[in-house]
Amino acid sequence: HAGLRWIGVSINGTINSAYFKWRSSDFGDTNQRIYGIDEDNPAAPTNFDEFDADPFTSAFVNWDYYVYGENQSPSLITIFQELVDSYTIEDDAVMLQIRGVGGTIGEYDDYGDGYYCPLHIEYSPPAPTPTPVADGDLIGIGIIRKS
């Protein structure tokens, strides 16, 4: 299993594109499932019990890959749209978990060797909400005429 957490993320509206890149250093027959962590601004787990207890989004994506080297995840639109619809994500953390079986070893920031796992999200902001106009009672009309 793997956990991926990005900080300083600001997204809202409609998610148009979402994926990350992952570098594998070893490979085998993989059968992975990617979930979002269904929390507002999730904290990084400090042990396996916390990691294992993280709540998942109902949206998930299956990912089967066999490629040694850099891989791009499948579309994660459904996962991030569920998060945006549930939370205000403004300069917050977002987190994914990859669960499954297989012989792949991923490399990213935690290895400290220059590999990283960039997250790419494109979105359309929501339409602005019109300013409400208050209705009032008419209390008088004045007509001014120039003589």
For 11-52, what is each residue's pLDDT tens digit? Answer: 999 999 999 987 776 656 567 899 999 999 999 999 989 999
- Number of other CB atoms surrounding residue 10 within 10 Å: 11
Residue 108: per-residue pLDDT: 52
The H or E element spanning position 11 is strand 2-11
pLDDT of residue 120: 93
Q: Residue 37 in contact with residue 59, Cβ under 8 Å?
A: no
What's the whole-number mean pLDDT along residues 112-126? 80
* Beta-strand pair 105-107/14-26: antiparallel
More confident residue, 104 or 74: 74
pTM: 0.78
What would the mean pLDDT of 101-119 be, rounded to a whole number? 60
Write out pLDDT tens, residues 50-101. Answer: 999 999 999 999 988 766 677 889 999 999 999 999 999 999 999 999 887 6
